[in-house]
Amino acid sequence: MNLLASIWEISRCRLVEAREHDLPVVATILAENRSIFPLLGPERDLERLALSVLRHDKLPPNGHSAHENSFLIRNKGDDELLGLLSVYRGYPTTEILYIGHIFIRPRWQRRGIGREVITELERRASRAGYQEIRIAVGLRNWPALRFWIALNYDRITQVVGDLECHEHTYADIELAKPVSDEDLQASGAKT
């Protein structure tokens, strides 16, 4: 199975690989999720930030843009834009899949879209031979922390960022989850 085909579908969504011509819609998603800006670096101009996401400018150490894909998440019924997913294959080791980010438009949050996308990504990762998926979450992003913990991303691999907590400081916690078929079945995911 192709882990990340340019178009893949799940029950309610279609994920389509994002290209530079998708700049306006990516900027829209980012504008609606301004609280995540610290995750994406110092840039605050929406168009430049969206272009940076589409060009895969923020890569892991020794990373290569060919290992990262970004997908627009669209409603299968009417093609409405629901969100954006970015995935990096092979960081920090070849058997790990790294979720760069998943942004769901606010009006679609808490409707199970994110859970559905991540569950399918886990299935595909397991079938492709990945052993683990990781995600970095802002320590002040309580909704995201609750989301990932509920999906059993509960092993902390590192904490990065500012050393002290103040109003203008920021830190991320990296969470991990194994993705073997047995683990997915034990967690109740449908295969």
Q: Where are the domains of the chain?
A: 7-134
Reduced to 3 states, what is the DSSP secondary structure of residue 137? strand
Candidate from 41-55, 91-105, 164-178 with smallest mean pLDDT: 41-55
Query: Under CATH, which architecture does the 7-134 domain have?
Result: 3-Layer(aba) Sandwich (3.40)
On average, the pLDDT of the chain sits at 87
Predicted pLDDT at 1: 40
Q: How far apart are CA 178 and CA 130, in angstroms?
A: 9
What is the 3-state composition of the chain as percent helix, strand, coil, each rounded to the nearest 5?
35, 30, 35
Residue, of 157 and 180, whose pLDDT is higher: 157
Q: Region 132-151: what's the mean pLDDT?
A: 93
Q: What's the CA gap between 117 and 103, in Å, rounded?
A: 11
Average pLDDT, integer, range 182-189: 51
What CA–CA distance (Å, rounded) separates 59 from 10? 27
pLDDT at 36: 65
Q: How far apart are CA 70 and CA 173, in angstroms?
A: 22
Say if residue 12's pLDDT is above 50: yes
Residue 167: the pLDDT is 80
Provide, rounded to the nearest whole percent, the portion of the chain with pLDDT above 90. 60
Q: How confident is the model at residue 42 (pLDDT cuts 50, 70, 90)?
A: low
User: Minimum mean pLDDT among 49-58, 87-96, 116-125: which range?
Assistant: 49-58
